[in-house]
Amino acid sequence: MDKIVYISGKVENGKIATEITDQKIADLIASKKIVIIKNLFTAQQMLELRTSVFEWGKTTPLATTDDFRSNYHSRKAKVSNIQQSPHVFHDYNFNNFSKLPDSLNKKMFSVFDSLRIFYNSLTHNTAELGVIKNKHYFHPQLIQYPEGGGFFGRHNHNLLPQKIGFILALSKFGTDYKAGGTCFEIDNELVSLEGLHDIGDLCLWHYDLDHWVSQSPLNNWFNWDSDKGRWVATLAYFNPF
């Protein structure tokens, strides 16, 4: 698909390096291309991260409201207040790494700090991880779309302040999940990443594009307590207050 650009990349000394310049990547995204950096993180690192987060969630009470200053997780099956879009997923939100168990803290930091540095380079920002009073700040998040009906209906976001969306795949297509993926509409054309955005790949996109997550197969049993399904990580940037 000419709407998708694939490039290779790797993480070196905590920083993301690709075969083209960061400015070229930013220019591609500005032209409404979907950029996928293939195999940026290893499958083993992605598996360890999502497994550790799932285990953390088992010992952490479910939140009933969003708390943008702390670490929390919640099961959402509703129509979103902001986007007015239906969705079913389990989200894990991390606004304060220092409060996490040491092992999980290290796993989160090794992934999200490299994403932070890369995001800052692409958007000419200087933001750090952690809550920043009266300013925009990063909201590291993992999302599980469970087997048996996990999805996110069509929605969009304001371009600013985020500018560029990040979606990191934490699950292996065909093994961890059989169907489902992020979809975009670009210039009246459907662009589906199902089967194309695989474990360890980072998807970058112009933040105001209409997008949605297609449903996991309904022939599987739905179970909130299972870790099965499609997992992704995102790095949102906004001031919730």
Strands 34-38 and 4-12: parallel
CA distance 198 to 175: 11
Q: Above 80 in pLDDT, residue 208?
A: yes
**Given the structure tokens 């474990």, which residue do they identify?**
199
Q: Where are the beta strands (DSSP E) in 33-136?
A: 34-38, 71-79, 86-94
pLDDT more than 90, % of the chain: 95
Q: Which of 121, 64, 70, 120 is nearest to 99 (CA)?
A: 70
Q: What does the pLDDT read at residue 80?
A: 85
pLDDT more than 70, % of the chain: 100
CA distance 128 to 45: 23
User: pLDDT tens digits for 212-225?
Assistant: 999 999 999 999 99
For residue 89, CA distances in Å to 38, 46, 215, 235 come to 25, 19, 10, 17
pTM attached to this predicted model = 0.96
For residue 231, CA distances in Å to 46, 52, 54 come to 9, 13, 10
For 222, which DSSP code? P
CA distance 26 to 33: 10
CA distance 37 to 99: 31
**Given the structure tokens 């890369």, which residue do they identify?**
118
CA distance 175 to 153: 24
Q: What does the pLDDT read at residue 1?
A: 59
Residue-averaged pLDDT of the chain: 96
What percent of the residues of the chain are helix, what percent strand, and what percent coil, each to the nearest 5?
20, 35, 45
Q: What does the pLDDT read at residue 156?
A: 95
Q: Which of 192, 193, 194 is nearest to 217 (CA)?
A: 194
User: pLDDT tens digits for 75-129?
Assistant: 999 998 878 899 999 999 999 999 999 999 999 999 999 999 999 999 999 999 9
Q: Could you tell me which residues come within 8 angstroms of residue 135 by beta carbon, excluding any fewer than 6 positions away?
A: 239
Average pLDDT over residues 163-169: 99
Q: Could you tell me which residues come within 8 angstroms of residue 143 by beta carbon, excluding any fewer than 6 positions away?
A: 89, 90, 91, 92, 231, 232, 233, 234
